[in-house]
Amino acid sequence: MSAQAPACQLLERQKDNYASLWVVGPPVDSWLIDQSTGVVSGDFDALHEWQANGKQARTPFDLAADEPFGKEVVLFWPKAHQLGIWWLKWLCEQLPEGTPIEIVGEHQGGIKRVPKILDELGMPWDKRDNARRCSLFATHTVALDSSSDTAWQTFETLDLTLASHPGVFGHGKVDEGTLLLLESLESSLPKKPLKVLDMGCGDGIISAWLAQRGHQVTAVDVSAFAVEACKRTLAANGLEGRVLCSDVFSALEGEQFDWVVSNPPFHKERDISYGPSQRLISQAPEHLNTGGRLIIVANGFLPYPDHLQRAFQDFQTLADNRRFKVYGAVKTQR
């Protein structure tokens, strides 16, 4: 089996094999899964793939400080640089000083900026290799002045305090589509508490807004960073809610809700991907009580009306500001 992802192909030519390799924030690649002992990732899909192959898999938020992890560590540089800086600081906090770390990534993903970032953090570095439009650097952990926790920020909007982290959708600002969605919900929300699912919760703005109005909220996201951000947002506002890592409905088998509300994803990294939003719409009827509603917001150009028509046989446009549309569909039969 050969590596498929370009950054993994660069790793593949480094050593015959790794004795105890832990990979951090990697792409899903069968060669890499086979080579590695474990993964630390914020991406539920990646964690699932490593686990399914009998490997250790953790988010950075469920790794206890005293758990052994990695003498050979490779960080895959993320497209969000601030998230890369967060991973470097986090690794320096988790691993003994002097632990070697390799950093690999694609040129189009910004790996060439890594030496400057390492200089700024006071981490020595060495360039190891360059091929397949990727580069590989080596460094080691050092004692840093500032902690990874400084990456968490809060901002105020709609009478709520939102917790934000690099790599979480929006990071510090409210999406225009989300605002339109909340405006249109304001007039249609019943007074009695609803059991609501916020699908793709991000920093938790929709969940907190609904919980603030007395509704019983479950929030899910495929990103562990988003799950942590949503938990922090609810806590910062003294609100309650259940927050889970889930690939669309994967963690919610057999559960039904009165409403499913979402500003659904249509990107994976920089590529357009309708997969999760299509699954959200097609599987929503199974997860709604009779009379329950799916309410989503989307850029006007996205093909959701067709998907809604197929899944629900009918839908309404609840709001339209030319750039975004809010759609609602009701589950009419069991």
Ligand X SMILES: C[S@@+](CC[C@H](N)C(=O)[O-])C[C@H]1O[C@@H](n2cnc3c(N)ncnc32)[C@H](O)[C@@H]1O
Q: How far is CA 91 from CA 42, 127, 175, in A?
A: 14, 19, 31
> Using the rule CB under 6 A, is 221 a contact of ligand X?
yes
Task: Pick the closer one to ligand X by CB: 3 or 229.
Answer: 229
Distance CA 204, CA 227 (A): 8
Q: Does 261 bind ligand X (CB under 6 A)?
A: no
By CB under 6 A, residue 93 contacts ligand X: no
Does residue number 166 form part of the binding site for ligand X (CB under 6 A)? no
Type of residue at 64: A
Stretch 222-241: interaction string toward ligand X, x if CB under 6 A: xx--x---------------
Given the DSSP bridges, would you call strands 288-299 and 324-330 parallel, antiparallel or unpaired? Answer: antiparallel
Distance between CA atoms of residues 71 and 159, nearest Å? 46
Residue 175 beta carbon to ligand X: minimum distance, rounded to whole angstroms? 5
Q: Does 206 bind ligand X (CB under 6 A)?
A: yes
Minimum gap (Å) between residue 195 Cβ and ligand X: 18
Shortest Å distance, C-beta 40 to ligand X? 18
- Can you tell me which of 175, 256, 319, 330 binds ligand X, judged by CB under 6 A? 175
CB of 199 to ligand X, least distance (A): 6
Residue 263 in the binding site for ligand X (CB under 6 A): yes
CA dihedral 295, 300, 301, 303 (to 10 degrees): 20
Q: Which stretch binds ligand X (CB under 6 A): 26-34, 50-58, 100-108, 214-222?
A: 214-222
Counting residues that bind ligand X (by CB under 6 A) gives: 20
- 170 near ligand X, rule: CB under 6 A: yes
Cβ-proximal residues to 94 (8 Å cutoff; 6+ apart), any chain: 63, 65, 69
Distance of alpha carbon 79 from alpha carbon 159, whole angstroms: 31
**Is 205 a residue that touches ligand X (CB under 6 A)?**
yes
Q: State the minimum distance, in angstroms, from the CB of residue 113 to ligand X.
A: 24
- Of 25, 27, 78, 200, the one binding ligand X (CB under 6 A) is 200
Using the rule CB under 6 A, give the single segment among 23-31, 92-100, 112-120, 242-250 that binds ligand X: 242-250
Min CB(281)–ligand X separation in Å? 13
248 binds ligand X (CB under 6 A): yes
Is 286 a residue that touches ligand X (CB under 6 A)?
no
Per CB under 6 A, the list member of 38, 166, 241, 265 interacting with ligand X is 265
CA distance 63 to 42: 12
**Nearest-approach distance from CB 26 to ligand X, in angstroms:** 17
Element (H, E) at 46: helix 44-52
Regarding 164 and contact with ligand X (CB under 6 A), the answer is: no
Q: Which two three-digit tokens encode residue 13?
A: 């030519």
208 contacts ligand X (rule: CB under 6 A): no
Both tokens of 1, joined, read 């089996």
70 vs 276 by CB, closer to ligand X: 276
User: What contacts 192, CB < 8 A, 6 or more positions away?
Assistant: none
Binding range to ligand X, per CB under 6 A, among 153-161, 185-193, 202-210, 281-289:
202-210
Strands (E) in the chain, as ranges, are 21-24, 36-40, 56-58, 72-76, 100-106, 125-131, 134-140, 153-157, 160-164, 195-199, 216-221, 242-245, 257-262, 267-268, 271-272, 288-299, 316-320, 324-330
C-alpha distance from residue 85 to each of 61, 133, 167, 233 (Å) = 16, 21, 11, 22
The DSSP 8-state label assigned to residue 145 in this structure reads S
Q: Is residue 27 a contact residue for ligand X (CB under 6 A)?
A: no
For residue 12, report the phi and psi dihedrals to the nearest 5 degrees.
-60, -30
Q: Which residues bind ligand X (CB under 6 A)?
A: 169-170, 175, 178, 200-202, 205-206, 220-223, 226, 246-248, 263, 265, 276
